[in-house]
Each structure stands twice: as C-alpha cells, then as structure tokens.
Amino acid sequence: MSITSRKRRYSFGPAILDHETSFRVWAPTAREVFLNIDGTKVKMERDGEEFWEVSLSGNRTGSLYGFILDGEGPFPDPAGRFMPSGINGLSQFIDTDNFRSLDSDWKGIDLKDMVIYECHVGTLSPSGNYSGISHIADHLIDLGINTVEIMPVAQFFGTRNWGYDGVYIYSPASCYGSPENLWNTVSYLHSRGIAVILDVVYNHSGFIGNYLDRFGPFHSNWHRTPWGNCFNLDGPYSDSVRRFILENVRFWIEDYGFDGLRLDAVHGIIDTSPRHILADIGSIFSDLTEKLGRRIVAVAETDQNDLKITEKHDKCGYGLNAQWNDDFHHSLHTLFTGESRSYYMDYGAPEDLLRTLKHGFDYNGRWSQHLKKTRGTNFGEADRSRLVVCSQNHDQIGNRAFGERLITLAGKEAAKQAAALTLLSPFTPMLFQGEEYGETNPFLFFVDTNDRDIAMSILDGRRKEFESFGWQQNIPDPNDPETFLSSKIGWEKQKSSDGQEFLDLYRGLIGLRKRYVSGRTSDYAVSERTKPIMVSYRTGLKLAASFLEENIPFPDHVREILYDLPSTMDGSCLISSGEGVFMKKGVLVYL
C-alpha cells in the first residue's frame, strides 16, 4: 500500500493524506486533547470549532491509538475503524479508504427483484465469522436468493451479541474477524451475484463500553428510547452528530461496498429538526446511487406503518426505499400459531392477512388494542416491493422466551404454507437463516459479559419483556455460552429428507417469484372475502389460502397446480365432490 495523493473523505476518524496520516476527533468542549498512539502521546490542535486534528508522517495503518481528553483516557476513537481487542481496547487504524479501490462491474440488485436472507454472523456458520458468510454463496445461488442481510456488526461488548448493543459504528466487531475479512466477504458475494445489506443502529448506542459522551454530546438530553438515549440530532452540537451518522451511511456503502442498509427501529430516531435525519439519509442514498452507478437500498425497520418513510421527498416523505411490514408477519404468525398475547392480540383473523395483502398495511389508521392508539397511515398505491415481509426474523424468533421458530411452534406444513405466502406475496420477501431447510434450532437472545450484575440485569430485563406474553420462568440465560451455541444453525440438516423437501420447496417458490412476481408486484388483485384468501397476479400466478377447519367452496378454476400445501400431512388442498370443488385448510399455488 503506497501513500498517494488523497483527501480526507470523512470528518471523523483517521485518514491517509499526502505522505501522512491524519487523526481527527470531535471533542467540542475539550480544552486539551492528545492522541495516544502506539504508546506515545501527541498533542492535537483545534481544527475549526469542534474538532481536533494532528497529522503524523507516513502510513500509520495498524497503529493502535486512543484519545486523552483533558487528562482522561485514552478512550477509543468514536469513529475508529477497528478495535482488535474488543470494546475495552484501543482503536486500530485501518485504511478503509483503500477498500473501495477495487473496482467491479457490480451493479447491485433491484429492490423489486430482491429475495433477502437475514443472518447473524456468529451463528450462521461453523466458523461464526465474516468469512463464514462467503461459504453459503453456493447454497444461496442454488435457491435463487440474491441478497444477504447481516445483523449489526458495530463493535459491541463481548463476543456473543445480536449486534444491537453496538457502540462504535465505524468498527466492525472484531470477534468476527478483521475489516478486510468483512470487505472481502462483501466483494466475494458481489462476485457471485449476491447483494449485501448491513443492519445499522442509529436510534441509540449500547450502554456497555460506551465512552462517546466523553467526547461530546453524542446523545440527546431530551429524547429517550426504551434502549437508551437517542443520538443527539437536534440539540447543541447536533450538526456534528448528524454528520457522524450521515457519514457512517456513506462509509458502509462506499468503503465496504454494501448494497444497502437496514435501519434499525427508525421509530426510535427522534429528531425535531426542520428536516428529519431519515430524509437526509434518503438524500444520501439518492446521491450515492447516482455517484456510484449501482443500485443501493435504504430499508427502514419501523412499527409505525407510516407511508412517509418510503414516500419520495417531493411527496413529503423521507425518501427511503423500503420499510419492514410487521402486519404481514403478525397476521401470518397468529393464524398459524393461534397466539394472541401482547402485540399478537391485534391479529388472528384471516381478515388481517387479507387486508395486509390488499392494502399493504393492515393497521392503516385503525385503532390498535395492543398499542391503545390509532396505528398507521394508508399505504395507497405505493409499490408493494417497498414493504419487506417475512414469516420469521431474528426479532420474531429471538424475542420469545425460548426462541422457537415457526416450524417448532406450528409444524412443518405451516412452515411450508408460510413460505409460499411470503415468497409469493407482492412484497419483498425476507428469510431468516435456516428456515429454507426447515431448521429447528432456536434463535435465542445472547450476550457475553464477565460482569455478574450486568448479566443479571439483562436476564431480568428479558423476564420483564416477556411478562405480557406469559413467559416468565426458566428462560435461558442470555449470558450462558450454551445459549449462543444452541442458536447456531445446523447445516447438516440440509441433507435429511425433510431438509431436501424444504430446499426443493424454497427453490421452487423463489423460481416462481422470479418468473411471475418480481418486478410486477403492483399488478395483482386480492379477493374481497377470506373464504379463501386469494391473490392473483396479472401474470397468471394465483394463490389461495384457507385457515378454516371446515372445507369451503373453491370459487376459482384451476388450470395447473404448482404447489399444493394442505395443513394435513398428505392429500391435496382441493376436494372434488358431486357438489363441486372444495378447499381444505392450506395454501394452493396455481395457474
């Protein structure tokens, strides 16, 4: 790596400039700041109103460093590119500017064509690291899955974490490998035709190992979420905190080459500024799409059912590409499991699924018994691909006391029907690692701390969270390494006959999606009634689903059955008798 003529691309963090390495840190109210690098203290100079800077000769890649603020520290760099010893260690300078120098013909995947595969680095593969993701490329390609979504990797405490306790949003967690490993994985997946979305958390940062506020008011004094204080997006010094986040968006897309970001819980991003930061993120995605000449997507996780999130700027929206749609999951889940506690109380009738399929949002301004308020807006005629749906994801599986997947709760036949409804819905489908071969291992909530008090308070927190579901006793201890290990998926199950059966089904359904649904998600009609629920695409593909125990008259003509998925172990969804054709409980895919 040679030192070439380069300019600083980010306000935050170190960068190689001409023949030197510049360290720059935001510490607006500090009186004196030292860079502590490889054991040496170097005085930093003010750079403008809020930043401090010092340049050292040569390429300092690999140097370990931190900052000493008014005599305290060293603290790791809030925008450090790596923390090789984890959250309690120093930052290491990695020249991520250099990553993007690898040019490729990669143009990304269009949102309308995406089939997303959500995974967690530590539990996805036997090696449990960034490189492990690469090894599933053949598997994904075989099934037709074209997009991987990686749960958050921002440096968190310990070595086992879902990722939502991340603090250092420019540092990929070192327990999974090096920045190069992550970058190589993204590049490799691109070379195999697979897009990669990264889950990022901009609503709060983790409690543990968090020294951000030593540098400046990174967090809001006024706005809180259940997970911690929000980033300071509208208080004093918020210009820089906003920039810290907005540059992070660009960082992952430009330097690492990610094809999109999944923005965690955007309803927790509270911002009273004239322009909401989500609108700024929407603008960055537009700008980067043009600049980079490849397709990228901003996907919001939200429980708000708010069209504004994915509406264009000129229609008063935030201009993000897609948003998660809980209504789809919850209506499916309650129909298959009969569960009705906590947020599931708002669902359970076939009408919920019907309304979701038809209108995009089930709760589109209706009163929610669970939230005790009106929920959602109309989704109108917005393209259905802007809603990301699933029959299971890390939250819906893992935020249960015992982390059971749908197949465990409702059985094999239900899991297959759910797959058909998800993969052939007009929405953008997302799978959770392992469901495609009928994985039965749970996905549990896990952490890794040596601090007994923290471990206990996390366990207590989980117990409290589950009270409204009636799950209280004997929940697995998140801090027990076994909890993590039992959440790893077991690839060997693919080889079982059940595994093969599921893989064939998923491969087939994804094939049908590509042939009949992708890119034409707005050309469909949904039945008025739920006996059965029917979706018909203008391309000719049709779905019928019944959740009733009794056989109901089947009101359509079937030219060719593509998938026949009854709720009983065998037989067909359709029964012909002298009185006509009747449909049994199940899902039928036909032309």
Residue of 118, 30, 114 whose CA lies nearest to 78: 30
- Which 2-41 positions form the footprint of a second copy (CB under 8 A)? 28
Q: Name the active-site residue from 280, 301, 339, 383.
A: 301
**Residue appearing with tokens 């005599």:** 71
DSSP letters along 365-431, please? SEEETTTTEEE----TT--GGGEEE-S--HHHHHTSTT---HHHHH-HHHHHHHHHHHHTSSSEEEE
Residue of 276, 280, 236 whose CA lies nearest to 49: 236
Per CB under 8 A, which region of 3-11, 199-207, 228-236, 574-582 contacts a second copy? 228-236
Distance CA 28, CA 565 (A): 62
Strands (E), 27-151: 33-37, 40-43, 45-47, 51-57, 64-69, 72-75, 91-92, 116-119, 147-150
Distance CA 573, CA 202 (A): 46
Per CB under 8 A, which region of 19-27, 372-380, 441-449, 578-586 contacts a second copy? 372-380
Cβ count within 10 A of residue 582 = 16
Q: Name the active-site residue from 264, 327, 352, 435.
A: 264
Residue of 318, 297, 296 whose CA lies nearest to 309: 318
User: Would you say 19 or 315 has its CB closer to a second copy?
Assistant: 315
User: Would you say 362 or 435 has its CB closer to a second copy?
Assistant: 362
The minimum distance between CB 420 and a second copy, in angstroms, equals 32
User: Would you say 39 or 274 has its CB closer to a second copy?
Assistant: 274
Give yes or no for residue 304 binding a second copy (CB under 8 A): yes
Which two three-digit tokens encode residue 561?
């059955």
Give yes or no for residue 467 binding a second copy (CB under 8 A): no
Identity (one letter) of the amino acid at 497?
A: S
Exactly one of 307, 353, 533, 574 binds a second copy (CB under 8 A); which one?
Answer: 307
Helix spans in 1-75 (H): none
- Which 265-284 positions form the footprint of a second copy (CB under 8 A)? 267, 270, 272, 274-275
Exactly one of 371, 525, 548, 561 binds a second copy (CB under 8 A); which one?
Answer: 371
| 49 annotated active-site | no
The minimum distance between CB 506 and a second copy, in angstroms, equals 35
Per CB under 8 A, which region of 16-24, 178-186, 230-238, 522-530 contacts a second copy? 230-238
Q: Is 568 exposed, middle or buried (0-12, 13-18, 19+ CB in 10 A)?
A: exposed
Give yes or no for residue 71 binding a second copy (CB under 8 A): no
Size of the site for a second copy (CB under 8 A): 29
Distance CA 174, CA 171 (A): 8
Give yes or no for residue 306 binding a second copy (CB under 8 A): yes
Exactly one of 18, 45, 191, 367 binds a second copy (CB under 8 A); which one?
Answer: 367
User: Would you say 222 or 561 has its CB closer to a second copy?
Assistant: 222
Exactly one of 8, 9, 100, 308 binds a second copy (CB under 8 A); which one?
Answer: 308
User: Would you say 304 or 500 has its CB closer to a second copy?
Assistant: 304
- Which 183-222 positions form the footprint of a second copy (CB under 8 A)? 222
Per CB under 8 A, which region of 58-66, 93-101, 236-244, 444-452 contacts a second copy? 236-244
Residue of 550, 543, 533, 535 whose CA lies nearest to 585: 550
Cα dist from 377 to 126, 211, 454, 464, 482, whole Å: 43, 39, 39, 31, 43
Exactly one of 102, 316, 525, 561 binds a second copy (CB under 8 A); which one?
Answer: 316
The minimum distance between CB 543 and a second copy, in angstroms, equals 30
The minimum distance between CB 213 and a second copy, in angstroms, equals 15
Give yes or no for residue 223 binding a second copy (CB under 8 A): yes
Give yes or no for residue 567 binding a second copy (CB under 8 A): no
Distance CA 295, CA 259 (A): 7
Exactly one of 18, 38, 239, 492 binds a second copy (CB under 8 A); which one?
Answer: 239
| 550 annotated active-site | no
Exactly one of 238, 428, 530, 546 binds a second copy (CB under 8 A); which one?
Answer: 238
Give yes or no for residue 225 binding a second copy (CB under 8 A): yes
Cβ count within 10 A of residue 169 = 25
User: Which residues lie across from 197 on neighbouring strands?
Assistant: 149, 260
Residue of 211, 153, 205 whose CA lies nearest to 178: 153
Per CB under 8 A, which region of 151-159, 185-193, 234-242, 449-457 contacts a second copy? 234-242
User: Would you say 258 or 324 has its CB closer to a second copy?
Assistant: 324
User: Would you say 102 or 367 has its CB closer to a second copy?
Assistant: 367
Secondary structure, 3-state, 229-283 = EEECCCCCCHHHHHHHHHHHHHHHHHHCCCCEEEECCHHHCCCCCCCCHHHHHHH
User: Would you say 155 or 305 has its CB closer to a second copy?
Assistant: 305
- Which 376-435 positions form the footprint of a second copy (CB under 8 A)? 376-377
**Which is it for strands 574-577 and 580-583: parallel, antiparallel or unpaired?**
antiparallel
- Spatial CB neighbours of 81, under 8 Å, sequence gap ≥ 6: 13, 14, 91, 92, 93, 94, 96, 170, 171, 179
Give yes or no for residue 373 binding a second copy (CB under 8 A): yes
Distance CA 11, CA 242 (A): 11
Binding interface with a second copy (CB under 8 A): 28, 222-225, 234-239, 267, 270, 272, 274-275, 304-308, 316, 367, 371-374, 376-377
By annotation, the residues acting in catalysis are 264, 301
